[in-house]
Amino acid sequence: MIRKVFTSSVTALVISSTPVWAAQKSEAQADPIAIPTPPEGKGQVVFFRPGGTGFAIGCLVNEKGQKVSSLGAGRYFVMVAGPGRHEFTVKSEAKDTLALEVEAGETQYATCRIKMGIMIGRPDLAPSTEAEFRKHGKLKLVDADDMGPGEGALRPDQLAAAISTSSEK
């Protein structure tokens, strides 16, 4: 008798949960993140941070000693940059540097992951690929509040305008 009640309860729970699973599946199949083409004569770098280890620690991206933007877990931002060499740094108890050669008309990708540290996590900034970025389809754009005075990071309204301009071409 107890087995029948338990089996019936589990079956009812599974059946009633099916719409939730279906909703989660449709979220995963949402439209891919739109990345605009760089402006004429410029390149761009898409920085992203998948979730995972160190989710509570931010990844503060700097260039020339100025904050460009903070990357929380599951966030991304797009930075427009002039052609040439650019050095980006991230720092907590240790500092990491990523040097990229940006070319006009090119979009590059960079990821920040948090690795184990002695006292707190250590940010690790590394080159990445569009495929790796797309693999993390649930990434969200950083908030304007997370952006610093450093040049180039597109704020949400600027990114929306750049995407609409790109789609008109």
7: in domain: no
Distance CA 76, CA 94 (A): 22
Query: What are the pLDDT digits (tens) for 92-127?
Result: 666 789 999 999 999 999 999 887 656 566 788 999
- Tokens coding 113: 């992951």
Let me know if residue 8 belongs to a domain: no
60: domain CATH number? 2.60.40
| pTM summary value | 0.77
Domain count, the chain: 1
Q: What is the pLDDT, as a whole number, of residue 124?
A: 87
Compute the distance between CA of residue 167 and CA of residue 66 in angstroms, rounded to an integer.
32
Show the tokens assigned to 68: 């460009």
The answer to which of 42-56, 94-108, 138-152 has the lowest mean pLDDT is 42-56
136: in domain: yes
Residue 80 CA to chain centroid, in angstroms?
16
At 5, is the pLDDT very low, low, confident or very high (cuts 50, 70, 90)?
very low
Residue 35 lies in a domain: no
pLDDT at 22: 39
- pLDDT tens-digit profile of 71-88? 988 999 999 999 999 999
3 domain-assigned: no
Give the CA count within 13 Å in the CB-facing half-sphere of 37. Answer: 10
Residue 9 scores a pLDDT above 60? no
Residue numbers of the domain that contains 96: 43-168
> How would you label 94-115 residue by residue, b for 16+ Cβ within 10 Å and e otherwise?
eebebebebeeebbbbbbbbbe
Residue 141: pLDDT band with limits 50, 70, 90 = very high
Q: Is residue 141 included in any domain, yes or no?
A: yes
Is position 11 within any domain?
Answer: no
